[in-house]
Homo-oligomer: A and B are copies of this chain.
Amino acid sequence: MTTDAEIAFETRLTEQASAVEARLRRSLDDRPLSGEIARPERLLLAMRHGVLNGGKRLRPFLVMESAALFDPDARDDTALCVAAALECVHCYSLIHDDLPAMDDDDLRRGQPTVHRAYDEATAILAGDSLLTLAFDIIAGEPWEHGKRPTAATRLVLVKGLARAAGLGGMTGGQMLDLAAEHASPDEAGIIRLQAMKTGALIRFACEAGAILAHASSADQERLAEFGSAIGLAFQLADDLLDMTADASQIGKATGKDAAAGKATLAALHGADWARRQLNGLVEQAHALLDPYGERAAMLKAAATFVANRTR
């Protein structure tokens, strides 16, 4: 059954994805490459391949909607820049994650991965460049058509993004995930590594929107917790898809976790348990947003979507 709220959500998700893709294109095209500098065309093409590939743009959506929750006018070009920066970090992590030395994937969203479309060296550099670009966008983008955040706000965003993406967050989680193929962490260990690997950036997406809209510290923290809940749900849904879907459905190889001997919560407790757990996480996420009433409908729909996604 598709409800009106779900239709409204899907429409908004698609709209925001187009907007953030336009912003990403601009950020990639506008980089000041002066006369003394040669354009590394192949690198730019590989970066575009990795970032403009029709993703759902969930993290950008969360930035935009979290900002709008506290200030409807905050869904502006400034927020789009921050959203685009987070997507650069997400896409760089996918490019590096797909490399032969990591997950060794040939397909991503139904297209050849960057190292398959280009080569490994180019994929490594494209990932590095997208990560660097994310900080360039937050610190350097003029953001002319939005509210101009203060230097202090931009700095909080730089710091938060670095913390979410680095060794205490995403890359640390990726490392623990690689080790999990041999080390078999316990349930608490799996939850921790997933909170770092995929959770930290989703958490920060929600927090960043609240920061941009000058929400109170308490509200920023509440949105961060909402992000943590849907981050967990996201990973659980991913594990479930890896167990039950086929490659043509989700556009990448499946069954890889089991093949790699990687323990996931879904594999540990079974698909039924995972689905019940997902429902619990959605309820928890919704409850966190109850204080905001109807204004939080889009974010609540996002939580439902994350848990129920089929690709």
Contact = CB atoms under 8 A, between A and B. Distances in A.
One complex includes copies of this chain to the number of 2
B125 A171 contact: yes
Nearest to A162: B136
Given A124-B96, A128-B96, A189-B38, A167 B133 contact: yes
A291 interface: no
Interface stretch (A57-65, A147-155, A215-223, A234-242): A147-155
A277 interface: no
A91 B180 CA distance: 27
A172 B36 CA distance: 13
A127 interface: yes
Contacts of A132: 131, 162, 165-167, 171
* Interface residues of A, dominant DSSP: helix
Contacts of A169: 37
Interface stretch (A16-24, A40-48, A245-253, A282-290): A40-48
Nearest to A161: B135
A60 to B, nearest CB: 20
Interface of A: 31-34, 36-40, 42-44, 47, 92, 96, 99, 101-102, 119-122, 124-125, 127-129, 131-133, 135-136, 138-140, 150-152, 154-155, 158-159, 161-163, 165-169, 171-176, 178-179, 189, 192-193, 195-196
For the complex of A and B, 4 pairs with smallest distance between CB atoms: A101-B120, A136-B162, A132-B166, A140-B159
